[in-house]
Amino acid sequence: MAGGTMVGTSSRPIRTMQPRAGYSQQSTTDIWSAVSGASRSLLADHDLDPVRVKGIGFDATCSLAVVGQGGTKISVCPDGTAEFDVIVWSDHRAIDQANRIQMTGNVALESVGGSIFPEMQLPKLLWLKQKLPDQFWAAQYFFDLPDWLVYRATGSDIRSLCSATCKWTYQGSRGLNGEGWAASFLTEIGLGDLVSDKFSSIGSAFVAPGSRIGRGLSASAAQSLGLMPGTHVAASLIDAYAGALGTTGVTWPDGLQPEGRLALIAGTSACHIAETRDATFVPGVWGPYLGVLFPEVWANEAGQSAAGALIDRIMNGHCATPDLRARARKNGCNIYDELEELLVALTGSTDDTHLLTANLHVQPDFMGNRAPLADPKRRGSISGLTMQADA
């Protein structure tokens, strides 16, 4: 169980390029620059001596980072724009490839609830091979973004079981040196080339989350981050799983253990992560995944591809938003505080605002249904709209 005190936070923006509908790309150069800037700023703002920092860990979205020989960038952009070498988790370009994988009915799909989703890495790899073959063959490594951050920080290509199990179908219970890859499955779906190179491009060495990686921070990474060379670096976590660790890994006064509890991690998307002592297979729910958070504990994951992003979508597309933003600026608050005030004014009570939506129903699959239907083509709707124009 975890304890500690947060000293402070720091953040930097990252560019996201969307060259066409369903495509979302980022740059590892941007990402590392943002991480480095945030680290140095945090140290400076709180007058922290780098010598006191004994270890660091990375979490990130389950995006796909492609690395060429010697660490060169490999474009994932259809138009060849070189700087974008990351297919973002939310990218749905690989829907057809996911369908092809799904049609195999391979037993390996049992670990993802029986249905693979285009946000996972195997469909994206198949898309790269089919649509951008030159880039696919030029790649030395394919990383989940959390593992890429560890690679950039240490020079080690050892992967975390968290990403490999949850987004790549690796089975850590079979071994930590590549034995967990289903070679026949990869061959059947058209990715046998990953087998023939002994899995070196997708990982042949794995460790549990939090394990110490290599010799710690490299000299160049330490300089970028403002830390000391050799500082311990932990095996990474997917961002939602880092949230689940912080949620279920705390010490509870009633002595409850993590298993049997559910973490709801809400951000751009929403993830529901449950932990159990025994493997539980649920159709349409990802998992069970062994050891991706705690040793000998299984995890299952469900969720919604657009949660906070859907709220942004509704807000940004509503005709009343410009006026609402202006009022929020005038009142020195954010737009959601302003909305809350309006809702209270409509009902006369903070306890009754939910009644305003008694006849309004949202089908939230604006970006497909992740679970339990695993249908990336499903669409959202709002039922109960009237001619009312004041809310």
Query: Same domain, yes or no, for 87 and 188?
Result: yes
Return the structure tokens found at 376: 């990336």
Bridge partners of 68, per DSSP, are 139
DSSP string, 203-255: -S-EE-TT-B-TTSS-HHHHHHHT--TT-EEB--EEHHHHHHHHHHSB--TT-
Domain of residue 320, CATH code: 1.20.58.2240
Q: Where are the alpha helices (DSSP H) in the chain?
A: 28-45, 95-103, 121-131, 133-138, 145-154, 161-168, 183-188, 193-196, 219-225, 239-248, 308-317, 321-331, 335-347
Return the structure tokens found at 4: 């500690």
Query: Same domain, yes or no, for 232 and 335?
Result: no
C-alpha–C-alpha distance, residues 118 and 103, integer Å: 14
Query: Same domain, yes or no, for 87 and 232?
Result: yes
Domain assignment of residue 350, yes or no: yes
Domain assignment of residue 97, yes or no: yes
Domain assignment of residue 6, yes or no: no
Query: Same domain, yes or no, for 320 and 228?
Result: no
Q: Which of 237, 271, 289 is the last residue of a domain?
A: 237
- Three-state secondary-structure class, residue 288: strand
Residue 253's pLDDT is: 66
**Cβ contact 90:367 at 8 Å:** yes
Domain assignment of residue 82, yes or no: yes
Residue 3's pLDDT is: 60
Query: Same domain, yes or no, for 30 and 162?
Result: yes
Query: Same domain, yes or no, for 211 and 332?
Result: no
**Cβ contact 294:382 at 8 Å:** no
Check residue 358 and report its DSSP letter. T
Domain assignment of residue 19, yes or no: no
C-alpha–C-alpha distance, residues 190 and 131, integer Å: 13
| Number of residues assigned to the chain | 391
Return the structure tokens found at 133: 């073959």
Residue 1's pLDDT is: 44
Residue 21's pLDDT is: 93
Q: Which of 237, 255, 287 is the last residue of a domain?
A: 237
Query: Same domain, yes or no, for 82 and 216?
Result: yes
Query: Same domain, yes or no, for 210 and 312?
Result: no
Domain of residue 58, CATH code: 3.30.420.40
Domain assignment of residue 275, yes or no: no
C-alpha–C-alpha distance, residues 98 and 201, integer Å: 20
Residues of the chain falling short of pLDDT 50 = 1-2
Q: What is the chain's alpha carbon radius of gyration, rounded to the nearest angstrom?
A: 22
Query: Same domain, yes or no, for 162 and 52?
Result: yes
Q: CA torsion 149→155→156→161, rounded to 10°? A: 0
Check residue 369 and report its DSSP letter. B
Q: Which of 181, 207, 237 is the last residue of a domain?
A: 237
Query: Same domain, yes or no, for 101 and 188?
Result: yes
State which residues form the domain around 334.
308-383
Instruction: Read off the pTM.
Output: 0.93
Domain assignment of residue 211, yes or no: yes
Domain assignment of residue 340, yes or no: yes
Return the structure tokens found at 126: 């198949």
User: How far, CA to CA in Å, does 103 sit from each of 72, 99, 124, 170, 251?
Assistant: 35, 6, 16, 19, 44
Q: How many domains does the chain have?
A: 2
Query: Same domain, yes or no, for 90 and 184?
Result: yes
Q: Which residue has the tokens 């089908």?
A: 363
**Cβ contact 128:151 at 8 Å:** no
Query: Same domain, yes or no, for 49 and 180?
Result: yes
Residue 132's pLDDT is: 98
